[in-house]
Structure 1
Amino acid sequence: MAHGHPHRASSGVDEEVEVAGPARTALLVSLGLAAVATVAGLIGWWPSGDASEVESAQFAAEGVTFPSGEVREVGEPCPLQEAPPEGCGLLTVRVEDRTVDVMAPPEVFSAGIAPGDSVELQKVPGADGDEPTYSYFATDRDSTLLWLLVLFLVVVLAIARWRGLFAVIGLAFGATVVWWFLLPALLEGASGVGVALTGASAIMFVVLYMTHGLSLRTSTALAGTLVGIVITGVLGVIAVSGARLTGISDDTGGLLRAYGGGLDFPSLLGCALVIAGLGVLNDVTITQASAVWELRAASPEASRWEVYAGAMRIGRDHIASTIYTIVFAYVGTALLVLMLLSIYDRSILDLRSTEHLAEEIVRTLVTSIGLVLAVPITTAVGALVAAPSRPAGSDL
């Protein structure tokens, strides 16, 4: 029976790769259904703003303001393990129309605060016409954050050019989804994993196509990413429930519980697992899809199995390096916690079931499993879509 001629992808190396019609149709239909489910999730869980499970919390008492001032003099820091001498730990700050002395914690001095630095103070108005009181609140770090942001944008745009620009725009879109959809929906008591899957899917649809272009190669990476997200979400629910994790492992969780006792914290942890693995997952799937297309372009007559096997050799190396990335990223963010655990009179293995450590072990293993499984899935989809070349004149 004769079949239609294969179709080709749209740009770059994609133009050199023949595409199998049935595989392409199945891929696009699956992504279409995923898009419909994503839109349905956005509509169903879109926050109304009226039924938050968390009470509105005022950051400071009424009338309290946070003016910025310039440090004029830096005193001696107070010793940590001794009775502090009188007058230690003071910063002299010029703020508004006056000069005030404020106490600052020792770590502020250890960080190297110096005259000329800008600090943010907390100003409490005085009662019955009394003078306001000032206290140290934070060091103003805007200048450092600004030049780092500018350097980041310059480096990305100079090296990645238009693709880098689209990646930055995609990053801004992802932040918008998190801030305006994911967080408010969670605060209204929506399903943590459901909201995470919906938000992650919406982000990936926009970010991948915006950054890498509309092509079947990008669609293959998107399909692998979505499957990896689902695997991570399902495993997260099972692991959190099986380990009886509470989802509250630090003071931040306890404070949030104080404001919103109706929140489902294990469900929030499941949401965090999905979001935590999103960036790395996207990285490996786009790499695998690109590997399949490059191998197919270089060997147009190779069998699907040969292309799959070649791409998987690349994928295995990528898996190994990415797992290192996940683990060491955790070590870097939790360095102080690990240092504290290391000085206890129990080994870290004895403490593995504590809430904080068990939560991070589950987070690392669940995201790694989703990542590893996404590699062969993405590679298989790509090998099916990127068909071998057929002899000229063949209708088979």
Structure 2
Amino acid sequence: MKSGSKKLFLLKLFLLLILVGRLTFLRLVQAQESMDSLDSPELIESEVNNENEIIRAQVIELVEEGEREVAGVSAPYQLLKMKLLIAELGEPEILLEHGGLPVAQLEEFRTGEQVFINFYQPLSSLDLSEVVTNRQASISTRSRDQQLLFLFVLFMVMVIVVNGFKGIRSLLSLFFSFVVIFFVALPILLRGYDPSLVIMLLALFIIPPTFYLTHGVKQKTHVAVAATVISLILSSLLAITLINTMNLSGLATEEAAFLSFERQDVINIRGLLLAGIILGLLGTLDDVTVTQAGMTFSLKKNKPSLKFGKLFSEAMEVGQDHIGSMVNTLVLVYTGASLPLLLLFINNPHPLSYVLSQEVVVEEIVRILVSSVGLIIAAPLTTFLASAVANWDQIKSRIVVK
């Protein structure tokens, strides 16, 4: 710090952020305590009535495969010899009928593959010496957790190798975010609290620890935290306005519709849509604010004579390139995620205005535009704050003189 006034300014900013985080934490603790005192009959009932058993198994032999006539339609099938990977039962072997139903395409399995079998009744009630039919059980999905574990380990190794100790800090920050989301946010949402309020409070709670843990307690981090919070609030207001004016229900996707059916009058699906937009925006703002703040302070360090206006303009020249590349990245990411949806609409005979008015399309467009607007707000705002902090002594002297 070059002056006591700048240090005092940063200290006040830091204390304000700590206060916000503290209040948010206390609010979440109170909410969690009140939730623990509540009973959840719906959850208890669903657990009691759910007699299905999901068991991991391995294909050890393809006994038979072919086609059979079912309701006048040719239906492919496989007869698989499976080993149930249950150590307590001695890993018993069964014959499982896979397919044999009139479906568009049968997913075929080969020897050595691991899968998850969904038994529609307790395993103890079945005679495992006989063929388990498709009315008693079916293969739910392939086992992919081991491949995901390898991918995650590869990701962590590359982060540490490339970024060193800073990579370790970023992984700790990522772990902290996941803990807060999965062990605080999701349980609260399942209890029926307003999703948009919960995610906004959690975002304000997550931002300071993750930023400081990843990037250190520096001037650029102080500025990035402040700019991220302000940009997030402004973008959230825009998202709320768009959701209300367009009358979006949040039920465009199958997952949302299923969740609404399972948790009727418990989860605010419309608020969940807003919460998803806020959470997605938070991840993109981190990159823009930290990079822009760091670049502004680097310019000031290399050219100490730069005044506020000149520093802001030079930093924004780089910031404009950053905005352009990030907006393009966002569009491509969301487009890639919605590619099957786009293929369904590309040869649609209905008018373009009708297609664009479909809620499933509007939701994706709103996500892209809100995230893009958030980035556009964040870049100049971060540059402005960083330029002001870097030239704080000069700005204060002008104010005192006047």
Deviation at 1:249, TM superposition (A): 0.8
Alignment match, 2:88:
none
Alignment match, 1:14:
none
Deviates more, 1:131-140 or 1:301-310: 131-140
Alignment match, 1:28:
14
Identify which of 53, 69, 89 aligns with 1:64: 53
SS at match of 2:340: helix
1:137-286 equivalences under 5 Å are 137-262=140-265, 263-286=267-290
Alignment match, 2:3:
6
Query: Once the two structures are superposed, what CA deviation does each residue of 1:300-328 show, in whole Å capped at 9, x if it has no partner?
Result: 12101111111111111111111111111
CA distance in 1, matches of 2:79, 2:153: 31
Relative to structure 1, is the Cα distance of residues 114 and 126 closer, same or farther in structure 2, using a 3 angstrom cutoff? closer
Relative to structure 1, is the Cα distance of residues 128 and 190 closer, same or farther in structure 2, using a 3 angstrom cutoff? closer
Alignment match, 1:94:
82
User: Contact conserved, 1:78 with 1:84, CA < 8 A, in 2?
Assistant: no
Deviation at 1:99, TM superposition (A): 3.7
User: Contact conserved, 2:52 with 2:118, CA < 8 A, in 1?
Assistant: no
User: Contact conserved, 2:83 with 2:94, CA < 8 A, in 1?
Assistant: yes
The alignment yields a C-alpha RMSD, in angstroms, of: 3.0
1:253-332 equivalences under 5 Å are 253-262=256-265, 263-332=267-336
SS at match of 1:108: coil
Deviation at 1:66, TM superposition (A): 1.7
CA distance in 2, matches of 1:140, 1:5: 58
Structure 1: runs of 5+ lacking an equivalent: 8-18
Query: Once the two structures are superposed, what CA deviation does each residue of 1:137-185 show, in whole Å capped at 9, x if it has no partner?
Result: 1101123112211211111111011111111111111111111221122
CA distance in 1, matches of 2:80, 2:96: 4
AA of the residue aligned to 1:305: G
Relative to structure 1, is the Cα distance of residues 252 and 78 closer, same or farther in structure 2, using a 3 angstrom cutoff? farther
CA distance in 1, matches of 2:239, 2:19: 23
AA of the residue aligned to 2:221: T
Identify which of 113, 117, 121 aligns with 2:113: 117
Deviates more, 1:21-30 or 1:115-124: 21-30
CA distance in 1, matches of 2:247, 2:40: 23
Query: Once the two structures are superposed, what CA deviation does each residue of 1:349-379 show, in whole Å capped at 9, x if it has no partner?
Result: 4311111111111111112212210111111
Relative to structure 1, is the Cα distance of residues 77 and 309 closer, same or farther in structure 2, using a 3 angstrom cutoff? farther
AA of the residue aligned to 2:228: T
Structure 2: runs of 5+ lacking an equivalent: 85-91, 395-399
Identify which of 55, 80, 84 aligns with 2:42: 55
CA distance in 2, matches of 1:139, 1:303: 61
AA of the residue aligned to 1:283: D
CA distance in 2, matches of 1:259, 1:129: 29
User: Contact conserved, 1:296 with 1:388, CA < 8 A, in 2?
Assistant: no
Identify which of 365, 370, 375 aligns with 1:371: 375
User: Contact conserved, 1:103 with 1:136, CA < 8 A, in 2?
Assistant: yes
AA of the residue aligned to 2:239: G
CA distance in 2, matches of 1:84, 1:304: 76
CA distance in 1, matches of 2:321, 2:150: 35
SS at match of 1:58: helix
Give yes or no for the alignment of 1:39 onto 2:25. Answer: yes
Larger relative CO (CA 8 A, sep 6+): 1 or 2? 1
TM-score for the superposition, normalised by structure 2: 0.83
CA distance in 2, matches of 1:98, 1:382: 66
Relative to structure 1, is the Cα distance of residues 313 and 212 closer, same or farther in structure 2, using a 3 angstrom cutoff? same
AA of the residue aligned to 1:266: R
Alignment match, 2:397:
none
Alignment match, 2:346:
342
- Give % identity: 25
Query: Once the two structures are superposed, what CA deviation does each residue of 1:215-236 show, in whole Å capped at 9, x if it has no partner?
Result: 1211111111111111122112
